Amino acid sequence: MPHRVVDFFRSPNDSIHSIKASVQRRSNPSSRSASRERPTRHSSAASSVLETAADQTQTPSFTAPPVKMAEPARGREKDKNNDAHNHRLSFPSFHLGSSKTFKEPAQNPNAALDWKIESPPAVLYGDTENSTGALVSGQLLLKVKEEDFEVESFGAKLEIHVIQKRPFTGHCQQCVNQTTEIKSWSFLGEPTVLSKRTHEFPFSVLLGGHLPASTDNSVVAIRYDFTAEAKTKTGPAVKLTKRIDVKRSLPVPELPHHSIRIFPPTNIAASVHYPQVVHPVSTNTFTLRLDGIVKHNVEAKSVEYWKLKRLSWKLEETVETVAPACEKHAPKDTPEAAAKKGAKRSDARTIAHADMHSGWKSDYSPSGCIEMEIEYQLAPGAKAACDIKSEDGTEIAHQLVVEMVVVQEYAPVAHPKHVTPTGVARILRMHFGVNLTERAGLGVSWDNEAPPIYQDVPPSPPSYSCPIPYESVESVEDLTLSRSRQEGEAETSSGSRAPSPAYEERAPSSTGADDEVLR
């Protein structure tokens, strides 16, 4: 029996017939001689040698050839068909997917559509309350490959596409997908004949600061889909589908956040300095100081110590969203179900963690303390999602959890080196909220770097009200002339000197050349 297994692995090219025949020979010994005389098409040399040796020991020296009956024509055709399909192995328990082939939509050979983004990457600077949004601008390039190409209409739209991975009702596409249109453009609203060249159509949109950033996690996926379509008179439409990656960047405070925690009934107080804003690819540092670890018992003449045995930190990610119900699966308008038209979905996971058993400084003097500086960072393959808080109920938050195990020991005042454990241990746990955000880089908000547009130019300065009527007010020139006349009259009346004429008449000269020059 073992040689059959060896033959099977030595000859992997054997057909299904040979494998079935070997199984039948093991199960029915009487049919062994009949099946042995049928030659197999793909039998290996090792198997034929072993079978010949077995035949010499079990069968007589002379055997009559079996009589082969004539088979009908239909039977032969069926056997040929069966032989053609017998080489295929079928595994009914394995589901390899549907056999239907999905064909891509046909493209118009006479035109092509592409885009060119001219604005920097879409980054929302600041939180949802203070951000001014991100400006996205570019051009759609419609390349026409033939003359007199007629386009019936040409438009584009930008939508927010929310994909619920745990929908309100499973296997319902309307419960899974929700789209909200941000802006639409109509470049050609009526039939137009275009020449053979590349036509440019500019577009721009201001993404509001309250919009969520793009994300893809285990509960929900949010993306921004840009779709453009040019309907032609002949042939299929020319389509373009792109995705805009929208990110959010929060400003990093100059100083780390300071937090103090007290753990009663002990006197231990923890002082922590940690950064509130962290980045997915970065190394962050927080400092920890434990005070009140030494306590003097005057009556017992002993000293109690709290010694740190283990410290562990982890960064947790919490995702919460509300999966809305479509019109078909929405509950009826009853008082109880009026406010319940969506299912709350949540998920929590740890994206980074570490355990430490050393690496801190301990001081057990009367004013003793424990100090440490810890570096933490995210794992490269964590695929962490940045913080999000949108109006539809989607929220992604992160928190840093620090857990310490301290053990109490005591020693006599006279012999401080004789330390004895008391068997008392406590777990000190702290939670700190942190914001995981993208890096801002060298970019700033669009309203800080762009020049003012025409609509933002303020009006002219306000006019000043005058209580005197406008007709009675003399101009500055009139006042100057009247003042100079008064001064001239005063000098003439006094007889000091007569005013000189503006132009003096010259006497005629004796030469004619001078007269011509004067003329």
Q: Each residue's pLDDT tens digit in the chain (519 positions)?
A: 555 544 545 555 555 556 566 656 665 655 444 444 444 444 444 444 334 444 444 444 444 444 444 444 444 554 444 544 455 554 444 444 444 444 556 778 889 999 999 998 999 999 988 899 999 999 999 999 988 889 999 999 999 999 999 998 888 898 999 999 999 999 998 999 999 999 999 999 999 999 999 999 999 999 999 999 999 888 889 999 999 999 999 999 989 999 999 999 888 999 999 999 999 888 999 999 999 999 888 887 888 889 999 999 999 999 999 999 888 888 776 555 544 578 899 999 999 999 999 999 998 888 889 999 999 988 777 889 999 998 888 999 999 999 999 999 988 888 877 888 888 999 999 999 999 999 887 778 877 775 666 666 667 666 666 665 555 555 556 666 667 777 766 655 555 454 444 444 444 444 444 444 333
Q: Are 9 and 46 in contact (CB under 8 A)?
A: no
Closest by Cα among 24, 21, 20 to 38: 21
State whether 129 and 267 are in the same domain: no
Answer whether residue 494 is part of any domain: no
Q: Name the pTM for this structure.
A: 0.64
Domain's final residue, options 385, 415, 436: 436
Same domain for 387 and 362 = yes
* Same domain as 333, residue 193: no
What are residue 356's phi and psi, to 5 degrees?
A: -130, 135
The residues, any chain, with a CB within 8 Å of residue 477's CB and separated by 6 or more, are none
Residue at which a domain ends, from 61, 77, 98: 61
Q: Quick one: 196 and 266 in the same domain? A: no
Asked if residue 239 and residue 177 are part of one domain, the reply reads yes
> Would you say residue 514 lies in a domain?
no
Q: Is residue 446 part of a domain?
A: no
HEC profile of 145-165: CCCCEEEEEEEEEEEEEEEEC
CATH code assigned at 218: 2.60.40.640
CB count in 10 Å sphere of residue 284:
19
289: phi then psi, degrees, rounded to nearest 5: -135, 125
State the total domains in the chain.
3
Is 218 found in the same domain as 116? yes
> Which domain covers residue 384, as residue numbers?
257-436
How far is Cα 440 from Cα 443, in angstroms, rounded to an integer? 6
Say whether both 288 and 416 belong to one domain. yes
Same domain, 245 and 278: no
Same domain, 135 and 279: no
